[in-house]
């Protein structure tokens, strides 16, 4: 977690993308992931840490922030949380958090993986899914350097997001911890259990209760913790939101979501702590960049 001092979207027929996997496609005002028709359907399981439904827009009071150890890291959506480990010469050096958003792509913060991008000969990255001490759904290596924006600057936050491409698809892997079901991923229309990743207008995010889950260094970096808090500032002209819940070192790259009916919608990526905790808002510009990276990685496979 960094301390802050002081896709041309594809529109058209889904069949156009039937030969690719793990890509986010904009159709009208919806975000769709293709294809995932071979994955079994699963019931939505809400994590016990989730407080009550968010207050209506304009409501004066909001619930107090919460911070809880995950009681079941295999529940939806916690099973798609990822511990991002940066290895220096093959040994653990530092870590962050992320979320599995396709069969082989993990969304995280750019500064978490920047050493790997700058010096891939010395640094590499590994991802452990649903880690909570001895509980996990596997550790997987990256296929290549992570993708970050050419506009990324370590001194600013605006482009602090990245995609890690794993060396193999993992969404179809089945685990006894999941009752023999496939892992799947956040946003799958077939087995994502109501999770989505659709950009939300800033005016509809202010004072909403949001949630995030990751791996705080202060708890050893290998325990999954779930946090809630409200979004205090969501500017129209800036991608940076202010979160009134807890974020600490090790949570960089963790997803931020809101409850949307019976499901969850990913709205941002945790990027910085300081006098206020900052989150990059998921905008269509961010979606365009992420989608482009995933498409390019798919074509290289």
What per-residue confidence (pLDDT) applies to 43? Answer: 35
* 12 CB neighbour count, 10 Å cutoff: 9
- How far is residue 47's CA from residue 207's CA, in Å, rounded to a whole number? 21
- How far is residue 222's CA from residue 252's CA, in Å, rounded to a whole number? 14
pLDDT confidence band for 17 (50 / 70 / 90): very low
Count how many Cα atoms sit within 13 Å of the Cα of residue 235 in the half-sphere of its side chain. 10
How many domains is the chain partitioned into structurally? 1
pLDDT over 50 at 10, yes or no: no
Write the pLDDT tens digit of every residue in 107-123: 999 999 999 999 999 99
The CATH number assigned to the domain holding 294 equals: 2.40.10.10
Is residue 6 included in any domain, yes or no? no
Is residue 16 included in any domain, yes or no? no
pLDDT over 60 at 6, yes or no: no
pLDDT confidence band for 59 (50 / 70 / 90): very low
% of the chain at pLDDT higher than 90:
68
User: What is the SS3 assignment for 14?
Assistant: helix
Burial tier of 19 (Cβ tally within 10 Å: 0-12, 13-18, 19+): exposed
pTM: 0.82
150 Cβ contact partners less than 8 Å away, ≥ 6 residues apart: none
Is residue 42 included in any domain, yes or no? no
pLDDT confidence band for 2 (50 / 70 / 90): very low
Range of the domain at 207: 29-34+49-174+183-300
What per-residue confidence (pLDDT) applies to 301? Answer: 65
In sequence order, the β-bridge partners of residue 36 are none
Is residue 188 included in any domain, yes or no? yes
Query: Is 107:99 a contact under the CB 8 Å cutoff?
Result: yes
Is residue 20 included in any domain, yes or no? no
Is residue 4 included in any domain, yes or no? no
Write the pLDDT tens digit of every residue in 176-219: 999 999 999 999 988 999 899 999 999 999 999 999 999 999 99
Is residue 41 included in any domain, yes or no? no
């Amino acid at each position: 977690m960094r301390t802050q001092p002081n896709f041309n979207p594809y529109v058209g027929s889904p069949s156009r993308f039937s030969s690719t996997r793990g890509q986010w496609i904009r159709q009208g005002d919806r975000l769709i992931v293709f294809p995932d028709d071979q994955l079994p359907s699963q019931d939505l399981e809400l994590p016990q840490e989730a407080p009550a439904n968010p207050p209506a827009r304009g409501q004066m009071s909001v619930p107090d922030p919460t911070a809880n150890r995950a009681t079941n890291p295999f529940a939806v959506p916690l099973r798609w949380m990822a511990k991002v480990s940066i290895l220096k010469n093959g040994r653990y050096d530092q870590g962050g958090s992320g979320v599995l958003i396709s069969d082989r792509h993990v969304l995280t913060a750019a500064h978490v993986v920047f050493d790997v991008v700058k010096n891939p000969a010395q640094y590499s990255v590994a991802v452990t899914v649903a880690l909570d001490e001895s509980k996990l759904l596997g550790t997987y290596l990256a296929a290549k350097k992570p993708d970050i924006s050419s506009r990324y600057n370590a001194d600013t936050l605006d482009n602090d997001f990245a995609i890690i491409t794993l060396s193999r698809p993992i969404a179809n892997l089945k685990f006894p911890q999941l009752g023999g079901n496939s892992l799947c991923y956040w946003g799958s229309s077939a087995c994502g259990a109501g999770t989505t990743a659709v950009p939300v207008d800033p005016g509809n995010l202010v004072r909403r209760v949001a949630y995030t889950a990751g791996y705080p260094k202060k708890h050893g970096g290998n325990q999954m913790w779930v946090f809630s808090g409200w979004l205090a500032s969501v500017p129209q002209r800036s991608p940076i939101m202010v979160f009134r819940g807890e974020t600490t070192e090790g949570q960089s790259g963790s997803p931020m979501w809101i409850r949307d009916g019976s499901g969850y919608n990913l709205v941002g990526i945790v990027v910085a702590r300081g006098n206020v905790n900052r989150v990059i808002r998921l905008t269509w510009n961010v979606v365009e960049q992420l989608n482009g990276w995933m498409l390019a990685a798919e074509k290289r496979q």
